[in-house]
């Protein structure tokens, strides 16, 4: 009887310790996000204070600003995953105009696209509306755009269309495409960390979780990675029922 009681106490202590560590990590991530946001504000102020031709470090500051925003997005994803795990995220699907939504997304990257000489084209019917959580899907599309800008040669397409009762969002580029290893592992959201390549799999895990949160009449959203498409490169495909 004593042994059983000790086991229960140890189990309760372990659960309490894990909960405390989770809350500590979430609080730390929040603090880091605030610091990175201040860094982004300072960088954008410096970039706005002078033209590219007048600032010798303009290119470096543009890259630093982009990387800081990417880190900030990753921290936001971690906090969102924490809220989802604690069942405190205010999931709020609404009817969204895809044309407006995507053009607002693209506007956030306009300067960086221009700096990197990347052409980005949005293909969407202006009358296409769909129900989804705007903040969550913004995070998913932001992930895909960051990857596309990193690996494309000079062109990206964002395509939104309805197909067989689902919204299909495609982000395509004209780079070399996904490696065979990534394509084989894309169904495994819990795949390991790639220390050599620097990939944690966070972006894909977050995107896959968000996709599955969107469901309708028993049909779940899904995420797919492909090669080919209109530009014969990598294709990030998000399907929402």
**pLDDT at position 200:** 59
The answer to whether residues 200 and 193 touch, using CB atoms and an 8 Å cutoff, is yes
Average pLDDT of the residues of the chain: 83
Distance in angstroms (rounded) separating the CA atoms of residues 75 and 38: 14
Distance in angstroms (rounded) separating the CA atoms of residues 221 and 159: 17
**pLDDT at position 21:** 67
Span 61-83, mean pLDDT? 85
**pLDDT band for position 190 (50/70/90)?**
very low
Distance in angstroms (rounded) separating the CA atoms of residues 237 and 56: 39
Residues 109 and 221 both lie in one domain: yes
Residue 221 per-residue DSSP state? P
Distance in angstroms (rounded) separating the CA atoms of residues 73 and 54: 30
Span 19-39, mean pLDDT? 76
Structural domain boundaries, residue 129: 94-240
**pLDDT band for position 51 (50/70/90)?**
low
Residues 144 and 198 both lie in one domain: yes
Residues 196 and 137 both lie in one domain: yes
Task: Show which of 85, 102, 118 is a domain's final residue.
Answer: 85
Q: Are strands 119-124 and 155-163 parallel, antiparallel or unpaired?
A: parallel
Task: Show which of 85, 105, 123 is a domain's final residue.
Answer: 85
Q: Which residues contact 55 (CB under 8 A, 6 or more apart)?
A: 46, 47, 61
**pLDDT at position 4:** 57
Residues 133 and 218 both lie in one domain: yes
Query: Among 8-12, 111-115, 121-125, 142-146, which is the least confidently predicted range?
Result: 8-12
Distance in angstroms (rounded) separating the CA atoms of residues 162 and 94: 17
Query: Among 42-46, 120-124, 140-144, which is the least confidently predicted range?
Result: 42-46
Query: Is the model more confident about 101 or about 34?
Result: 101
CATH of residue 132's domain is 3.30.565.10
Q: How many CA atoms lie within 13 A of 106 on its CB side?
A: 18
pLDDT (tens digit per residue) in 104-122: 999 988 888 988 899 999 9
Please state the domain count of the chain: 2
Span 94-101, mean pLDDT? 97
Residues 70, 215, 132, 96, CA torsion sign: positive
Task: Show which of 31, 60, 85 is a domain's final residue.
Answer: 85
Residues 55 and 172 both lie in one domain: no
Residues 102 and 81 both lie in one domain: no
Neighbouring CB atoms inside 10 A of 47's CB total 18
Q: Tell if the pTM clears 0.85, that is, is over it.
A: no
**Closest Cα partner for 92 from 79, 83, 105, 100?**
83
Span 19-36, mean pLDDT? 75
């Amino acid at each position: 009887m004593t042994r059983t009681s000790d086991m229960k106490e140890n189990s309760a202590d372990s659960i309490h310790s894990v909960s405390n560590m989770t809350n500590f990590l979430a609080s730390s991530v929040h603090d880091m996000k605030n610091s990175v946001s201040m860094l982004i504000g300072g960088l954008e102020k410096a970039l706005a204070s002078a033209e590219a031709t007048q600032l010798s470090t303009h290119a470096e500051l543009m890259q630093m600003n982009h990387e800081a925003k990417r880190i900030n997005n990753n921290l936001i994803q971690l906090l969102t995953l924490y809220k989802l795990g604690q069942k405190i995220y205010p999931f709020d699907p609404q009817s969204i105009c895809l044309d407006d939504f995507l053009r607002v997304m693209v506007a956030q990257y306009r300067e960086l696209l221009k700096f990197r000489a990347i052409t980005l084209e949005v293909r969407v019917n202006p009358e296409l509306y769909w129900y989804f959580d705007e903040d969550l899907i913004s995070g998913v599309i932001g992930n895909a755009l960051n990857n596309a800008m990193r690996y494309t040669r000079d062109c990206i397409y964002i395509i939104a269309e309805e197909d067989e009762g689902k919204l299909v969002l495609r982000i395509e580029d004209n780079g070399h495409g996904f490696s065979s290893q990534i394509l084989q592992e894309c169904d495994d959201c819990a795949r390991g960390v790639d220390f050599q390549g620097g990939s944690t799999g966070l972006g894909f895990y977050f995107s896959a979780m968000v996709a599955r949160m969107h469901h309708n009449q028993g049909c779940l959203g899904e995420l797919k990675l492909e090669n080919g498409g209109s530009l014969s490169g990598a294709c990030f495909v998000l399907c929402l029922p």
